Amino acid sequence: MEVFINQNYFIMLEHQKKVLLGLAKNPYQFRKEIIKSFGWLNREQAEDLYNWVKKEMGSYYTQLVHEALYSMSA
């Protein structure tokens, strides 16, 4: 069971990374997708995705993630 959960975790997270990379030239769509992602990813996955965005996509997209998280909590 543990192997399946870890594999599923990896697959979902990698899928979202690919989707977000494809939306990198469209900040509006990127923000919409990150909101959807955080809606169905668990906390650990969401943190991993946030750290990946911060590392791979730079401060502009990190700010979009912050805005998305704020709008979800409001």
Ranges of beta strands (E only) in the chain are none
**pLDDT for residue 74 is more than 80:** no
What is the average pLDDT score of the chain? 85
- Read off the pLDDT band of 68 (50, 70, 90): confident
Q: Which residues contact 72 (CB under 8 A, 6 or more apart)?
A: 35, 38, 39
Q: How confident is the model at residue 4 (pLDDT cuts 50, 70, 90)?
A: low
- The DSSP H or E segment spanning 48 is helix 43-57
Summarize pLDDT for 16-60 with one digit per residue, the tens: 999 999 999 999 999 999 999 888 888 888 889 999 999 999 888
Q: Would the pTM of this model clear 0.85, i.e. be above it? A: no
pLDDT of residue 11: 85
Q: Are 38 and 66 in contact (CB under 8 A)?
A: no
Position 16, amino acid = Q
CA distances in angstroms from 2 to 9, 22, 48, 55, 56, listed in the order given: 10, 31, 19, 28, 29
